[in-house]
A and B are shown apart, each in its own frame.
Chain A
Amino acid sequence: MLLPYSWLKEYVNVSIPAEELKEKLFSCGFEVENLTYLGKDVTGVFTGKIVSCEKHPDADRLTVCGVDCGEKGVKQIVTAATNVFEGAIVPVALDGATVKHEGGVQKIKTGKLRGVTSEGMFCSGEELGINDDFYEGAEVNGILILDKDTPLGADIRPIVGIDDYIFDIAVTANRPDCMSIYGLAREVAAVLKKGLKPLDETCFHAVPTDVKFSVEVKEPKLCPLYVGSYVKDVKIGKSPRWLRRRLALMGLRSVNNIVDITNYVLLEVGQPMHAFDRKFLHGNKIIVRCAKEGEKITTLDEKEFTLRPDNLLICDGERPVALAGVMGGLNSEIKEDTSEVFFEAAVFARDSVRKTSRSLGQRSDSSARFEKGVYEIFPWMAMTHALTLMERLGCGTPTQCTVVGNLQSVAEYGGITPKQIETTYKKIDDVLGISVPKEEVNGILERLGFGVTDKGEALSVLVPLWREDIDGYPDLAEEVIRMYGYEHITPTFLEHATVTHGGRTPAQEQERKAKRTLEKEGFFEACNYSFYSPKDLDLFRLPAEAPERNAVRLLNPISEDLSVMRTFLMPSMLQNAVRNVRRGNYEGKLFEIANVFSYDLLLEEELGGKLQNRHIVLCTWGEGDFFELKGAIEALGDAFDVTFTYERGERPYLHPGATATIRIGGLEVGVMGELHPAIAEELALEKKVFLAELDYEAASEKFAKDITYHNLPKFERIQRDLAAVVGEEVTCAEMEACILHACKAVKRAELFDVYRGKQLGQDKKSMAFRLTFEQDEKAEKGLTPEQIDGFFRKIVANLKHNLNAELR
């Protein structure tokens, strides 16, 4: 919300520097996001009267002027302007001055034009940054000619109205009453402890009339209040300079006196208004109703809209005349010959205006204002103000024909009776934790327009009608403290609170440990958006029926690339790897623990289940291999004392020869493998990428909650190596299982070498295992070399029998 300092001064007698006012506003909840001095770029420009005009001796187009600049003396200015004349008072930029020039600032210096000295420059309206609404004549092609009675040698800025500050204020959503000059003036008056002048010192005089209007509101929920008033003897013309200037300060162009009044009231009171030309309102009737499907209206800006039943319309006896709260219709527009006006000030439901405005793509200052919320007191304030202005400006005669639509609902919603809050000073103090003197409380509330009845310990507060946001004593506490000052709050540390036990849940601790484990394994934690592109699913070559395709879609995504919720995390990781490689990071290890979503999970929520599932994803790229990634997963298993088992697996996006499904016991918890080379090629990836993804939630249920200690066996462990030649198809897991199955005393069988060579024969390999023999802790005797030999023979026989393995 913009607030010009000069306009504020009309209602509050304030004279502190603008910067100081900015601080005051900030302290009471109104952050000034921008404070602009309008005359910032215009310095050293004074008024001067042209006392002589002569042709330049060497240039036909130039004129040499003598200019009386009052106290500044008589100056010689050479100009190319053709609208200057002897006796004209003009703005003169003297040596060292600055003016606006093509969006920037131009410095003016004494210089010579074709041999004749010029001690400065005459200024146009544009060079002062003003238009006709600031000062009549500012838009002429040439120099700005000032009024005849303008003093000489005076600073130009106050004269053309740019000696002014504009506060751009952030108004919080609970304060629609401050989306207006007068609303902000009330806050300023309160924070500075100054008086606030009434909006209208005297009320207008309504004359009797035979004209009768009727208003019928067919949608009382969408239009809780409609106030209309008939004005006769209207004379369309230009608005006075002060009014045009104020519109200009707010960035609005003047149209004509009637339209200007509606705009002015919107700015000053915060209530959108509309003026209809009465002669186009058929049947002196206003009907507020929803549009019929396909009904059309052409708005003031000559755009035609085809409407739907949720668009609210203002109609006369026959046809739509305005799109409620958004814009008037072209058919009842104010024209130069308008002689009677029907003013409208109404409350329209903010949601209805927003929906209409958005669905039709038609926005206006009015719709923007309605979207912030308009209270039921506003139309009354606005209508009174508008009619008073009509009278004051002499551009029309207010009549006694004021009509109200939906008065019943006004009563029904209790809109117009002020709220009363019964509370105590202690309750207010208890919210704040400090004791605010009673006189302060009363004074602050009264300055903000509350009616306060001090009843000793208790107080009774009448809430002003423009403060529908005030509900109870905590709201009053806020009003008090923001005016009293937050610096009065003295920090305490939960003096009265119960001691509680804090910390993470076991599951949160576990997740933290998982992250720490991977950190130790050399992995960096990544963080990706929870949504991705459907294209990512295509890239992963997932068939239509794949569960990963059952993705939850956003109704209003930022872009198609961020339009579906992740069903698995690998695509984000692949993007990360690709981005890194392209940036020259040829080696990397990343992981992420995050939630995935699917419609199946959403439906579970209705049944009291969960909405999301936590996954963990790992990714490596560079010189490493499948087993480097597998090592990290094993480390994770070790950290939580679970054994992952791996089986050859298959995924459309992974290398068919290097994919494993990961299980804990019988439960499949994930998959890992090398990115399919075809996808790598599609992405022009020069490095191999390995990916693993686990259902973290399912896996973590199997995680050991704590470390379990086992007593040490009494006897030493014995290690023997075993190398066996097997066919290529035999896997390490099969060998391991076969060895462990053959002999209980073997606690571990670890593969340490695989060898292929001519002497072994085609499709053969030698696998070397290190076997660890160890007794249980209860064993009374250690293992003898003979026993070990026996075990060894048994193992070899078992391998031979089951896997056709030959001892090497």
Chain B
Amino acid sequence: MEEDLDLLQEATEEAEAAEDSRALYEVKMKFLGRTGKVTALLKSMKDIAAEARPAFGKKVNALREAIEEKFAAIEERLKGRELEKKLAGEKIDVTMPGKRTKKGALHPVTRVKDQLIDLFSGMGFEVFEGPEIETEYYNFTALNTPADHPARDMQDTFYLEAGSGQKESLLLRTQTSAGQIRVMEKKKPPIKILSPGRVFRSDDDATHSPMFHQMEGLVVDKGITLCDLQGMLDEFAKKMFSETSKTRLRPSYFPFTEPSVEVDVSCASCGGKGCSLCKGTGWIEVLGAGMVNRRVLENCGVDPDVYSGFAFGMGIERIAMLKYGINNIKLLTENDVRFLEQFED
């Protein structure tokens, strides 16, 4: 049995010959496994004399430890080599494109609409969306534009063919101002309302679209003045265009406001010096506004001697076109994906 104790040499040679850790494992089993040679030595202890057993046992254990030590060293070497090989095999071209989930985008009109809503929500405006089909009353009459009023010619209105059994003639709203009345009929001051939505005018040429979006703002409270209107619009111009933007009021006419103003914003492209965008004037016409006409307040049951207010309305497409430099309004309804893709967040 003593000769069997010389297994270290054999085990070392075989282990050294192992090409990878799997082969090494096989060698390990051959010597140290349940049926391995070293284990067999231990098992053979019962065949030797009892007095010789401790010494023999000691030798076998020493042998096992020596083999284990050798194996461990070899294993470490093999593992290191294998890792290197694995890493070499997993080398990638880091310049290849990344994998992405393709995102879509919201329409530029929605983007601007959302920005405006966020901006005015912060100032205490609630959002109200009125119907797109309106009655003459809400779209015109209540807004101080009775049937024979010259202002009706200002907007080319789409009228609807009457359905059977329908009494009132209906139209596509020409302005989101119609929503003002619906709000004021139900809600009493203080009122701060923002009314976005589609509006329709019978107009179709290079710069006009028969359908576009407006955003109407209305404030009714005690002691509201024209100065407040400009103060709020200054804030709007700064947030929507640039920190240095300014507004300019000039007289205009809308039947539902008195005084009425056209509001220009200093041209963000040239900073007011004059360029092709602002046609050399330094100003860009952005919205219409004014102090709510007393008759409109009366029509809604609001006492004009107690309350006053202002209203403003802007074309969302116009703001979007100015903001993004879109040069043709038709692009906004063509839905070409190459156009829409550019508004990804």
Contact = CB atoms under 8 A, between A and B. Distances in A.
A555 B170 CA distance: 10
* Chain B interface main SS type: mixed
B161 A553 contact: yes
A433 B132 contact: no
A350 B291 contact: no
Contacts of B102: 522
A85 interface: no
Name the 6 nearest CB pairs between A and B, nearest first.
A433-B225, A433-B227, A29-B251, A478-B259, A496-B223, A172-B253
Given A175-B253, A474-B294, A610-B131, A504 B151 contact: no
B291 A474 contact: yes
Contacts, number: 272
A198 interface: no
Contacts of B106: 515-516, 519, 525
Interface in B249-266: 249-253, 255, 258-261
A580 B337 contact: yes
Interface in A507-528: 508, 512, 515-516, 518-528
Contacts of A176: 150
Contact of B251 (A173, A486, A492, A512): A486
A482 B102 CA distance: 54
Contacts of B340: 524-526, 590
A264 B230 CA distance: 43
Interface stretch (B91-99, B152-160, B267-275): B152-160
A588 B337 contact: yes
Given A493-B228, A520-B104, A527-B107, A29 B332 contact: no
Interface stretch (B17-25, B37-45, B57-65, B120-128): B120-128
Given A500-B192, A524-B337, 7 more contacts: A481-B259, A524-B341, A529-B210, A595-B132, A599-B166, A602-B166, A612-B131
Contacts of A371: 150, 153
6 contacts: A489-B230, A504-B121, A524-B104, A527-B333, A554-B158, A599-B164
B66 to A, nearest CB: 44
A554 B161 CA distance: 6
Interface stretch (A45-53, A389-397, A556-564): A556-564
Interface string A465-500: 000000110110110011000100111111111111
Contacts of A434: 225-227
Contacts of A553: 160-161
Contacts of B158: 554-557
A554 B159 contact: yes
Interface of A: 26-29, 172-176, 349-351, 371-373, 430-434, 471-472, 474-475, 477-478, 481-482, 486, 489-505, 508, 512, 515-516, 518-531, 552-558, 562, 565, 576, 579-580, 583, 585, 588-590, 594-595, 597, 599, 602-603, 605-606, 610-612
B103 A431 contact: no
A498 B160 contact: no
A558 B200 CA distance: 11
Nearest to A495: B228
B13 interface: no
B104 A486 contact: no
Given A498-B221, A556-B158, A579-B335, A173 B153 contact: yes
Interface string B187-210: 000111010001010101000001
A486 B250 contact: yes
Nearest to B290: A478
A474 B228 contact: no
Contacts of A531: 210-211
A486 B191 CA distance: 26
A498 B251 CA distance: 28
Contact of A350 (B148, B211, B231, B252): B148
B322 interface: no
Contact of A501 (B124, B204, B232, B341): B124
A181 B217 CA distance: 37
Contacts of B253: 29, 172-175
B132 to A, nearest CB: 6
A20 to B, nearest CB: 15
A576 B337 CA distance: 9
Contacts of A26: 250
A494 B104 contact: no
Contact of B337 (A556, A585, A603): A585
B215 to A, nearest CB: 13
A527 B335 CA distance: 7
A431 B225 contact: yes
Contacts of A594: 198
B223 A489 contact: no
B46 to A, nearest CB: 41
Given A502-B126, A555-B159, A522 B101 contact: yes
B68 interface: no
B124 A500 contact: yes
Contact of B335 (A27, A482, A528): A528
B328 to A, nearest CB: 14
Nearest to A508: B127
A489 B230 CA distance: 8
B110 interface: yes
Contacts of A29: 250-253
Select the residue from A26, A576, A589 with max chain B CB neighbours within 10 A. A576
A558 B125 CA distance: 36
A73 to B, nearest CB: 41
A400 to B, nearest CB: 35
Given A502-B122, A562-B210, A595-B132, A494 B219 contact: yes
A508 B335 CA distance: 23
B105 interface: yes
Select the residue from A174, A475, A580 with max chain B CB neighbours within 10 A. A174
Select the residue from A471, A556, A603 with max chain B CB neighbours within 10 A. A556
Interface string B210-252: 1100000001011111111011111100000000000111111
B254 to A, nearest CB: 9
Contacts of A562: 204, 210
B185 interface: no
Given A489-B230, A505-B127, A525-B106, A430 B225 contact: yes
A486 B251 CA distance: 8
Contact of B127 (A478, A492, A503, A610): A503
B228 A497 contact: yes
A235 B295 CA distance: 53
A490 B227 CA distance: 6
B107 A478 contact: no
A674 to B, nearest CB: 20
A492 B227 contact: yes
Contact of A489 (B194, B226, B294): B226
Contacts of B227: 432-434, 489-492
Contacts of A523: 104
Contact of A554 (B160, B235, B259): B160
A612 B122 CA distance: 29
A372 B247 CA distance: 31
Interface string B14-58: 000000000000000000000000000000000000000000000
A496 B224 CA distance: 7
Contacts of A597: 132-133
Nearest to A588: B337
Contacts of A529: 210-211, 333
Contact of A552 (B129, B161, B255): B161
B202 A502 contact: no
A169 B255 CA distance: 20
B190 A497 contact: yes
B231 A493 contact: yes
B134 to A, nearest CB: 8
B104 A602 contact: no
A134 B126 CA distance: 61
Nearest to A351: B148
A39 B248 CA distance: 34
Contacts of A555: 158-161
Nearest to A562: B210
